[in-house]
Amino acid sequence: DTAVSQTPKYLVTQMGNDKSIKCEQNLGHDTMYWYKQDSKKFLKIMFSYNNKELIINETVPNRFSPKSPDKAHLNLHINSLELGDSAVYFCASSFLPGANVLTFGAGSRLTVL
């Protein structure tokens, strides 16, 4: 029974398209995150939601729009995809904002052609 599940696992698409990645956690955590891991393997936080409220919004282009319909779900929609958006996107969750232990999903590998 996967704790943090994200779909799709792989996504290959053309520049300019719009795509979404979905994330769900069954851990009962209040806080969820989106991280981006680029080709150099740096993991950078993009967004954090606590109980459906946005609490962290790093300098991410506004083509990226997160949405949290409830505290167990955090989706990421990306408009007008660019080559530089190619990366692995990880969803994560924690009990509280600022909790030091994150549980990550398996990642969604996005390739923009």
CB of 5 to another protein, least distance (A): 11
Helix (H, G, I), strand (E, B) or coil at 34: strand
CB of 108 to another protein, least distance (A): 11
Residues 56 and 108: their CA atoms lie apart, in Å, by 21
CB of 109 to another protein, least distance (A): 8
Q: Does 106 bind another protein (CB under 8 A)?
A: yes
Establish whether the linkage from the previous residue to 97 is cis, with ω within 30° of 0: no
Query: Which DSSP category does 49 fall into?
Result: E
Q: Does 42 bind another protein (CB under 8 A)?
A: yes
Query: Which DSSP category does 82 fall into?
Result: -
Nearer to another protein, 12 or 99 (CB): 99
Q: Of 22-30, 61-69, 72-80, 99-107, which part binds another protein (CB under 8 A)?
A: 99-107
Q: What are phi and psi of 84, to 5 degrees?
A: -70, -5
Judged by the rule CB under 8 A, the positions of this chain that interact with another protein are: 40-45, 48, 55-56, 90, 97-102, 104-107
